């Protein structure tokens, strides 16, 4: 517990974006997913768009406080060898059989967790449970977006093994913050997903395939840029922080040739498609008849927010 608190204190000193699509990108992705829904769904989701946007980052906020949360955000594929992408069992029971649950938990479970949440979301729709529909929709959006990030599929998640420390937040926070206003986020309508478990693996595969260029182009550009041109300083929350310079970011973004935009688009369309699929699998319940968020859920959210802001994150039982 003490170790945890120290880790926590340390974490709070880091920029809030930590190791995930920054808060900014997660919120934008969840928000935009709403607009890809069919008419029968879009009204309900629009009504709650603030909830879905603001709470998009909750899974990251509890990463260090809730046991078992962290591995849901990534999968270190390279741990399993070169052809991991091809040889890993797609379904949880077979994967456990092959590698044991401890190993899987140690190196990340994002594709299986997405499928599990899809199942839970379908149940929530069947039960017309507004609190759970909103919570699960919001959170599955987070994990889907994480699965689209190349650096969420490797042990070298922050370039720490290749002398590229900082590349994680560079790719998923700095670049979207600088350039995503110019991205084309029109992704078309959600589509039904026949095999949610396999689709989750397709996301991971698309992210992992992009990993080589993420690392390669940064290394290549670093050789072309003088150190003082690679970085610049910005004041954030009253702290002077070293960031990748605009020139370096632009050059990198250019070499990646739309990769961040493609992965964000993939996340947006896929999130809407999982929501839609869960709703269809639940028998297309009439969302106009759903009640509002319960007072209990609003209270829970408020508590969660307070705990996070105060930095007191007691470990607690997760919902199943």
Closer by beta carbon to Zn ion, 44 or else 64 = 64
Q: CB of residue 203 vs Zn ion: minimum separation in angstroms? A: 14
CA-based end-to-end distance of the chain: 23
Closer by beta carbon to Zn ion, 14 or else 298 = 14
In this structure, the number of other CB atoms found within 10 A of the CB of residue 252 comes to: 25
- Residue 158, classed as helix, strand or coil, is coil
Question: What is the C-alpha to C-alpha distance for residues 79 and 57, in angstroms, rounded to an integer?
Answer: 27
* Closest by Cα among 59, 69, 62 to 8: 62
Residue ranges in contact with Zn ion by CB under 5 A: 20, 60, 73, 146
Q: CB of residue 219 vs Zn ion: minimum separation in angstroms? A: 25
Q: CB of residue 26 vs Zn ion: minimum separation in angstroms? A: 7
CB 62 within 8 A of CB 20: no
Question: What is the C-alpha to C-alpha distance for residues 319 and 227, in angstroms, rounded to an integer?
Answer: 47
Closer by beta carbon to Zn ion, 157 or else 248 = 157
Length of the chain, in residues: 320
Q: CB of residue 208 vs Zn ion: minimum separation in angstroms? A: 16
Closer by beta carbon to Zn ion, 73 or else 269 = 73
Closer by beta carbon to Zn ion, 146 or else 218 = 146
Closer by beta carbon to Zn ion, 63 or else 118 = 63
Cβ neighbors of 9 (< 8 A, separation 6 or more) are 311
Chain mean position to CA 74: 9
* Closest by Cα among 80, 311, 112 to 204: 112
Q: CB of residue 59 vs Zn ion: minimum separation in angstroms? A: 6
* Closest by Cα among 91, 86, 193, 210 to 147: 210
Q: CB of residue 164 vs Zn ion: minimum separation in angstroms? A: 20
- What does the angle CA 199 – CA 204 – CA 208 come to, to the nearest 5 degrees? 145
Closer by beta carbon to Zn ion, 141 or else 159 = 141
Q: CB of residue 262 vs Zn ion: minimum separation in angstroms? A: 19
In this structure, the number of other CB atoms found within 10 A of the CB of residue 304 comes to: 17
* Closest by Cα among 219, 186, 206, 217 to 146: 206
């Amino acid at each position: 517990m003490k170790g945890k608190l120290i880790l926590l204190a340390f974490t709070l000193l880091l920029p809030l974006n930590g190791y995930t699509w920054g808060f900014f990108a997660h919120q934008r992705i969840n928000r935009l997913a709403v607009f890809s829904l069919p008419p029968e769904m879009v009204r309900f989701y629009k009504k709650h768009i603030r909830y879905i946007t603001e709470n998009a980052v909750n899974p990251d906020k509890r990463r260090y406080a809730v046991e078992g949360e962290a591995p849901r955000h990534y999968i270190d594929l390279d741990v399993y060898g070169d052809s991991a992408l091809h040889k890993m069992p797609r379904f949880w029971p077979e994967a456990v059989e092959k590698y044991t649950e401890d190993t899987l938990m140690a190196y990340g479970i994002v594709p299986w967790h997405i499928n599990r949440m899809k199942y839970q979301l379908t149940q929530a729709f069947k039960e017309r449970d507004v609190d759970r529909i909103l919570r699960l929709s919001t959170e599955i959006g987070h994990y889907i977006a994480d699965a689209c990030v190349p650096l969420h599929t490797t042990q070298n998640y922050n370039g720490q093994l290749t002398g590229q420390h900082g590349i994680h937040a560079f790719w998923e926070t700095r670049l979207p913050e600088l350039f995503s206003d110019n991205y084309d986020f029109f992704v078309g309508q959600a589509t039904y997903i026949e095999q949610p478990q396999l689709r989750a693996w397709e996301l991971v595969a698309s992210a992992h395939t992009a990993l080589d260029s993420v690392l390669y182009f940064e290394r290549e550009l670093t050789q072309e840029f003088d150190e003082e041109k690679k970085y610049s300083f910005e004041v954030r929350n009253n702290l002077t922080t070293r960031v990748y310079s605009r020139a370096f970011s632009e050059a990198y973004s250019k070499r990646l040739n739309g990769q961040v935009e493609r992965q964000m688009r993939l996340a947006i369309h896929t999130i809407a498609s999982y929501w839609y699929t869960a709703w269809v699998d639940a028998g297309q319940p009439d969302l106009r008849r759903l009640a509002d968020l319960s007072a209990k859920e609003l209270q829970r959210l408020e508590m969660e927010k307070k705990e996070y802001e105060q930095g007191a994150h007691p470990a607690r039982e997760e919902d199943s």
